[in-house]
Structure 1
């Protein structure tokens, strides 16, 4: 089972440039969370800070009762074994074939025999759909395959926390759908805590259990998927629905004159909240919640059409319209 990550008052700057300030949230154990934000808001910096590659200026990162910010290097090294990290481009060694790339953490951090390493590597490569590609070099395969190889490498030490940086960058919509399904299936199988940084709104609307949004040097909101997808908070509503009306401008935030000019405009209605993506075989994940549960518990009426469609034909997703209607009642 994954472990929770409690972030308290995290602040990070590079020189005089403030990246974000007073970020506080808890990534629930075993759940899939997504972190969004306009370009340049420090999403990748946040991932690197969580794993201890960057030191924050202030704040705490609590994992299993230990504050990563104050740990000595030797203790931090041990806690990092809880993590698996998938970087944007896979970060594979170009001179090594896929087998040796995936085997690298096992050879570096364990004393397992080559026989045991082979069994683990082949298992993880099969898990991400790369059986038979062991001898290929990173330069001989597609971007999607490189990402899956990077994911296999992130999995070989059986991490309890997976940090995933823009898995959809450079992928076409079909490959993005495949890798989204892979994350759902992996979460069901290994029950790890996932944090995914992405710009892809379709993925954000259907994959995670929780969503966070970094904006203007702070955490605008973090919480259950249904909370953010039904939110009327201007920056959250604008970003999650890809609208031009709102505080986010082409470069940074809009100035007072731009916002004043928009004040009389009628906002388009919120789109329906889709059903969350299910596992390929229909087996429920431990973290999976009934559709509409958060809305019902908090007295929120979701946008019309929510939970009735939007995932038609997706494997593992209940297609029963009556079940969707029940979620609204």
Structure 2
């Protein structure tokens, strides 16, 4: 069921500039989690800390009993074998065709024969729908195909943790939907923990089992998708529902005058909680959460017209 990531009291600064402080959360094993936040809140910095590319100033990141915030380089090298990373642009080598790009980690980190490497590469390219494109160069394909090739490369070492940095960057809404469905299908097929950093609100509302929000140099909230989508916390409610009323302005936070002018305004009503994406191959989601279970178990009435409300009416839940 993948690997749990336990983050405790994590802080990171660059010089005198605090990026975020006292971040504490547990990313559940085998589930899909999303990390959100306004631009400049350190989401990508958080990913780099999780994989050990940046050392935090304080706190711990526990993965299978190892604190990667303080472990030795040798221990970090071993823990990194658990990770696959999909960067924003796919990070393809422009002079290599897709096959050689995807094969690169296997040639660098394993002693597999070329025949074995070919079997693994073609299996992963089949998973992401790129069979037939293996001889193309990255410059000859679309941005969406490059992201899928980057995902295939992230999968070749059979990672237990997948870190995905802004997969929607540069993609139109249709291709973003396709890659979101691909993440759900992969999560149903492989034992991996997914953490996706994104700005895309539709992704945040329909893909994950869990959502986190970085804001104003701290973690505003982290928990089950339904908890955040039904939250009355102003910054969470504003961001997840793409509203202009709330503490977030054109800069990361509004000034005192703007907030004072808004304090007596009612926040717009919460929209219905949408149906969570299901695997297209008929396999169950790893989390196995019953729709509406979090709302029911925590005594929260789902917003009118939501899928969860409709389910509770049908099931009597």
Same fold, judged at TM 0.5 (above): yes
Aligned residue in 2 for 1:24: 24
Match of 2:314 among 306, 309, 326: 326
Cα deviations by residue, 1:11-30 (Å, 9 ceiling, x for unpaired):
00111111000100000000
Secondary structure of the corresponding residue to residue 13 of structure 2: strand
- CA 1:34 to 1:255, structure 2 compared with 1: closer, same or farther past 3 Å? same
Q: CA deviation at 1:288?
A: 2.9
Give distance in 1, aligned partners of 2:198 and 2:38.
10
Alignment of 1:128-277 (within 5 A): 128-277=128-277
Whether the 8 Å contact between 1:291 and 1:327 is mirrored in structure 2 is no
- Give the root-mean-square deviation of aligned CA atoms: 1.2
Distance between the aligned counterparts of 1:103 and 1:118, measured in 2?
A: 8
2:70 — aligned with what? 70
Closer, same or farther: CA 9–51 of 1 in aligned 2, 3 Å: same
Deviates more, 1:254-263 or 1:123-132: 254-263
Unaligned 5+ runs, structure 2: none
Q: 1:150-188: CA deviations, max 9, x gaps?
A: 000000000000000000011011100100000000000
2: CA distance between counterparts of 1:172 and 1:288? 30
CA distance in 1 between partners of 2:190 and 2:28 (Å)? 15
Instruction: Could you list the structure 1 runs, at least 4 aligned residues long, displaced by more than 4 angstroms after superposition.
Output: none
Shift of 1:69: 1.2
**DSSP-derived class of the 1:44 partner:** helix
Q: Deviation string for 1:30-76 (max 9, x for gaps)?
A: 00000000000000000000000000001100001110011111111
Q: Report Cα offsets for 1:214-262 as digits up to 9, x if no partner.
A: 0000000000000000000000000000111111111121122211111
Q: Note the residue ranges of structure 1 that are not aligned, 5 or more in a row.
A: 310-320
When the two structures are superposed, what TM-score results if normalisation uses the length of structure 1?
0.94
Aligned residues: 317
Contact 2:39 2:252 in 1 (8 A): no
SS at match of 1:186: helix
Secondary structure, in 3 states, of the residue corresponding to 1:231?
A: coil
Aligned-pair CA distance for 1:266? 2.0
Q: Is the contact between residue 37 and residue 214 of structure 1 (CA under 8 Å) also seen in structure 2?
A: yes
Q: TM-score, normalised by structure 2?
A: 0.98
SS of 2:307's equivalent in the other structure is coil
The whole-number CA distance in structure 1 between the counterparts of 2:118 and 2:199 is 35
In the alignment, is the contact (CA less than 8 A) between 2:102 and 2:121 conserved in 1?
yes
